[in-house]
Structure formats: C-alpha cells, structure tokens
Amino acid sequence: MNSSISALKFTPAAPAPRVSTAALSARPGPMARWCQAVWHALEAVGHARARRELLMLADRWQSGQPELAAELRAAARRRVGD
C-alpha cells in the first residue's frame, strides 16, 4: 500500500435543480427555441428516413406478400400522430 496517499473523503455533488417543462414553454428563451428547432429538424429527418424504409420494404415484399406491401405503403403515407 502506498503510504503517501491518504484516504479521500467522498462528498456527493448537489443535485441539479429541476425546471418544469411548463416553465420552459411559458416563455422560451433563445436557447430553448434553438433546441426546439434542432429537435423538429431531427424529427423531420427521422420521419423521412422511416418513410423511405417503409417504401423499400413494401417493394421488397410486393411479389411475395402483396397485402403486407399495401399495409407498408399505407403506413408510409400516414402522418405521425394520425
């Protein structure tokens, strides 16, 4: 054991203050607006990718299972939240 190292007392950090989402949405500052814009852009990219994937799967399944392909195409046409 190394005698030059003494035992360190562990002191936990104070918890971060919690901010309610109502407080953030009541009067969003520039950072909140920026975060919302980034989030919406990421969602749009994700939705576009999911749509492409559904259509590619539909094309792949068209010959073997046309009913499944039709459902996949219908899902690709649906908007999120509908």
Integer Cα distance of 66 and 60 in angstroms: 10
CA atoms within 13 A on the CB side of 67: 0
Residue for token pair 């936990």: 12
pLDDT number for residue 30: 87
Instruction: Give pLDDT tens digits for 28-66.
Output: 788 888 999 999 999 999 999 999 999 999 999 999 999
